[in-house]
Chain A
Amino acid sequence: GQQVMQIPQYQHVQEGEDFTTYCNSSTTLSNIQWYKQRPGGHPVFLIQLVKSGEVKKQKRLTFQFGEAKKNSSLHITATQTTDVGTYFCAGRNGKIIFGKGTRLHILP
């Protein structure tokens, strides 16, 4: 069945450093979504990418969708303590399949 893999599992960065998480699907996706989950909370939608090669930005966050629509990345520039949480990619082909997430820790 469809699988969505995400690396790294954990990332510790100094506040102000950049952060990137990568997502890879075993199948071509109609679209990919990114969610953020704060400790003790539920996943909250960040963005959806639909087109091959699409790049979208939200302030310090940059999202990319691969040309083959099987991989994606999230890059955060100059991390802040508010960025702490787990970032999930989710591939959509009808149902939404989540990766295992990348847990971001910010060191002050």
Chain B
Amino acid sequence: GAGVSQTPSNKVTEKGKYVELRCDPISGHTALYWYRQSLGQGPEFLIYFQGTGAADDSGLPNDRFFAVRPEGSVSTLKIQRTERGDSAVYLCASSALTGGTTEAFFGQGTRLTVV
């Protein structure tokens, strides 16, 4: 596809459950970013991948959150023992990191609701 794809678009889960959120970046984009956005707030940085490795994971709030990108393309954000405070829209973005402009292209997001 032409853009960043995130699945599922909506996820409702019970408190304490495990969830996985998937991001399919634009083909060839080496950089991939995960953000969390609550209503009325800006995107909150979680983690940034360069290729397969996490270049910066300083935004992950605690050890319940983990993300992988094993082949340098698709990424999965994993949240263990979900809490109601984890409810938010999780945004993924990818970027080429070559050439003059390194804009980030965002997916439509996954709206996570923990009940």
Contact = CB atoms under 8 A, between A and B. Distances in A.
B56 to A, nearest CB: 5
B91 A42 contact: yes
Interface residues of B, number: 25
| SS class, residues of chain A in contact with chain B | strand
Contacts of A88: 42-43
19 contacts: A6-B42, A33-B104, A42-B107, A42-B109, A43-B91, A43-B104, A43-B106, A44-B106, A48-B102, A94-B56, A95-B55, A95-B56, A96-B45, A96-B104, A98-B45, A100-B42, A101-B41, A101-B42, A103-B40
Interface of B: 33, 35, 40-45, 48, 55-56, 58-59, 91, 93, 100-109
